[in-house]
Amino acid sequence: MRIPVIAGNWKMYKTIAEAVDFIEKIKPVAAKADHCEVVVAPPFTALAAAAHAAKGSKVAVAAQDLHSDKEGAHTGDVSPVMLRDAGCTHVIIGHSERRHDHAETDEQVNRKLKAALAAGLTPIVCVGEMLEERESGRTEEVLRTQFEGGFAGLTPSDFSRIMIAYEPVWAIGTGRTATPEMAAESHRVLRELARKKFGEKEASAVRILYGGSVKPENVGGLMAQEEIDGALVGGASLKVDSFTALVNYPRA
Ligand code: PGA
């Protein structure tokens, strides 16, 4: 039984006060949501205050990135230990915006993933193809490359502690959602890769979230797919009403 996860990725939005206000409002919503786990990913500046506000509630706080070292001369970076210190339990790794804006490679994703695991954080590892890759029939190949590189050197027990987010790049922030069938197809590819690399038990247990223009209007169709175990949501996670509707997605 895979417990679904509804995660909000706030990207470069919200001040500390806005983040805390949002968490206070979403806490009672999360408390009633027995059917899923609720995660929000504020920007670095608001993490400690958000985690403080969320303490003892069902709202988990994620960072949006981390450095792979514990400490060091890395201006502008934040370490896994610092994220734990700020109260984070989860961390998003390898989001396509970081892969593109900061030229992050699968090798860096892999190092960050191992550092997050070593620090006791739950990594949410993002993979997904670009439009030209999909249009040239290379989706599966891209997912395989990202999977092999990103998850290199992990044991089945390491793998059992992570979540994957399948986010086709062409669907992020564009209003163009993958159809539930398209998303489920890629999730099946990822689960099969997990089965080959880590085994049946780990593959059937790993939560694979879909991300890319998820909104209250389309979340039900996506979540109805057996293969889709949750959503990583950007734009539609920023307003309390909309995030509430996502957490309370239509269920059969
Ligand atoms: P979006 O972003 O929901 O705004 O498309 C999703 C994401 O980037 O995680």
Tens digit of pLDDT at every position of the chain (252 positions): 899 999 999 999 999 999 999 999 999 999 999 999 999 999 999 999 999 999 999 999 999 999 999 999 999 999 999 999 999 999 999 999 999 999 999 999 999 999 999 999 999 999 999 999 999 999 999 999 999 999 999 999 999 999 999 999 999 988 888 899 999 999 999 999 999 999 999 999 999 999 999 999 999 999 999 999 999 999 999 999 999 999 999 998
Cα 173 to averaged position of ligand 1 atoms, centre (Å): 5
Q: Which two tokens mark 239? A: 């307003």
Domain topology for 5-247: TIM Barrel (3.20.20)
Residue 226 annotated as catalytic: no
Model confidence pTM above 0.85: yes
Give dist(CA 159, CA 251) in Å, integer. Answer: 28
Q: Is residue 121 within 8 Å of residue 88, measured between CB atoms?
A: yes
Q: Which two tokens mark 113? A: 């993933």
Domain boundaries, the chain: 5-247
Catalytic residue chosen out of the listed positions 104, 129, 133, 167: 167
Q: Is residue 179 within 8 Å of residue 244, measured between CB atoms?
A: no
Bridging pattern class, strands 59-63 and 37-41: parallel
- Atom of ligand 1 minimally distant from the CA of 165: 9
Q: Which two tokens mark 110? A: 């892999």
Nearest CA to ligand 1 atom 1: 234
